[in-house]
Amino acid sequence: MDIEIKALKSAVDAEIDILASDKSISHRVCMFGLFADDVCVVRGFLQAEDTLNSLKIASELGLKYEFINESELDSKLIESRSIYKKNSKNLGYKNNKVIESTLRDSLDSKNMESNLGNSKNIESKVIESKTILAKNTKSSKKDSNLQNLEIIESKTLKAKNSKDCKKLDSKISKDSKSLDSKTSQILLLYPPLENALQSPSNVLYCGNSGTSMRLYTGLLAGANIYAILCGDKYLHNRPMGRILKPLNEVGANIFGRVIKSNITQDSKVTESKTILAKNTKSSKKDSNLQNLEIIESKTLKPKNSKNIDSKNNQLQEKILAPLTIIPQKNKLKGFNYHSKISSAQVKSAMILAALQSSEISVYSEITLSRDHTENMLLAFQKAPFLSFIESSDKDLAKNKKDSIKIDLVETQNKKIKISPFSTFKPYNRGEKPLKSFNIEIANDPSSAFFFAILACIIPNSNLTLKRVMLNPTRIEGFKILQKMGANITYKNIKNDYEKSGDITIKHARLRGVSVSSNIAWLIDEIPALSVAMAVAAGKSSVRNARELRVKESDRISVLLAGLRAFGVECVEFDDGFDIIGFDIFKDKNSKNTNNKKCKVMESKGKDSNLQDSVNSKNANFVATKIADSKGDHRIAMSFIILSCLFGGYVRDIECINTSFPNFLQILKTLGVDFLL
- pLDDT class for 454, splitting at 50, 70, 90? very high
Put the strands of the sheet holding 64-68 in their side by side order: 64-68, 186-190, 40-43, 438-440
CATH 3.30.70.2740 fits 23-63+116-158+191-440, yes or no: no
Q: Is 589 exposed, middle or buried (0-12, 13-18, 19+ CB in 10 A)?
A: exposed
Q: Is 82 annotated as a binding residue?
A: no
* Proportion of the chain above pLDDT 70, given as a percent: 68
Picking from 74-88, 126-140, 569-583, which range would have the lowest pLDDT averaged per residue?
A: 126-140
User: What secondary structure letter does DSSP report for 554?
Assistant: -
Per-residue pLDDT at 101:
53
Residues 510-533 have a mean pLDDT of: 96
Q: What are phi and psi of 295, to 5 degrees?
A: -110, 165
Q: Is 514 exposed, middle or buried (0-12, 13-18, 19+ CB in 10 A)?
A: middle
Asked whether residue 271 carries a pLDDT value surpassing 60, the answer given is: no
Residues 356-360 have a mean pLDDT of: 96
- The alpha carbon of 88 is separated from its chain's Cα centroid by a whole number of angstroms, namely 35
Catalytic residue chosen out of the listed positions 37, 444, 524, 632: 524
Can the peptide bond before residue 527 be classed as cis, meaning omega within 30 degrees of 0? no
Per-residue pLDDT at 86:
72
Residues β-bridged to residue 124: 152
- pLDDT class for 183, splitting at 50, 70, 90? low
| Beta strand pairing call for 462-469 and 13-16 | parallel
Q: Is 50 annotated as a binding residue?
A: no
Q: Is 147 annotated as a binding residue?
A: no
Q: Is 80 annotated as a binding residue?
A: no
- pLDDT class for 184, splitting at 50, 70, 90? confident
Residues 575-594 have a mean pLDDT of: 73
Per-residue pLDDT at 91:
56
Q: What are phi and psi of 671, to 5 degrees?
A: 100, 10
Q: Is 210 annotated as a binding residue?
A: yes
* Proportion of the chain above pLDDT 90, given as a percent: 63
Question: Is the CB of residue 496 less than 8 Å from the CB of residue 469?
Answer: no
Has 673 been annotated as catalytic? no
Q: What is the pTM of this model?
A: 0.79
Picking from 69-78, 186-195, 301-310, which range would have the lowest pLDDT averaged per residue?
A: 301-310
Asked whether residue 198 carries a pLDDT value surpassing 60, the answer given is: yes
Residues 405-430 have a mean pLDDT of: 80
Residue 397: count of CB within 10 angstroms of its CB: 14
Q: Range(s) for CATH 3.65.10.10 in the chain?
A: 3-20+442-675, 23-63+116-158+191-440
Asked whether residue 321 carries a pLDDT value surpassing 60, the answer given is: yes
Asked whether residue 496 carries a pLDDT value surpassing 70, the answer given is: yes
User: What secondary structure letter does DSSP report for 195?
Assistant: S
- pLDDT class for 88, splitting at 50, 70, 90? low
Residues 294-311 have a mean pLDDT of: 36
Q: Is 607 annotated as a binding residue?
A: no
Residues sharing a CB contact under 8 Å with residue 177, sequence separation 6 or more, in sequence order: 669
pLDDT in tens, 33-75: 999 999 999 999 999 999 999 999 999 999 999 999 999 999 9
pLDDT in tens, 203-253: 999 999 999 999 999 999 999 999 999 999 999 999 999 999 999 999 999
Taking only Cα atoms into account, the Rg of the chain, rounded to an integer number of angstroms, comes to 25
Q: Is 429 annotated as a binding residue?
A: no
**CATH architecture of residue range(s) 3-20+442-675:** Alpha-beta prism (3.65)
Residues 512-523 have a mean pLDDT of: 95
Per-residue pLDDT at 102:
54
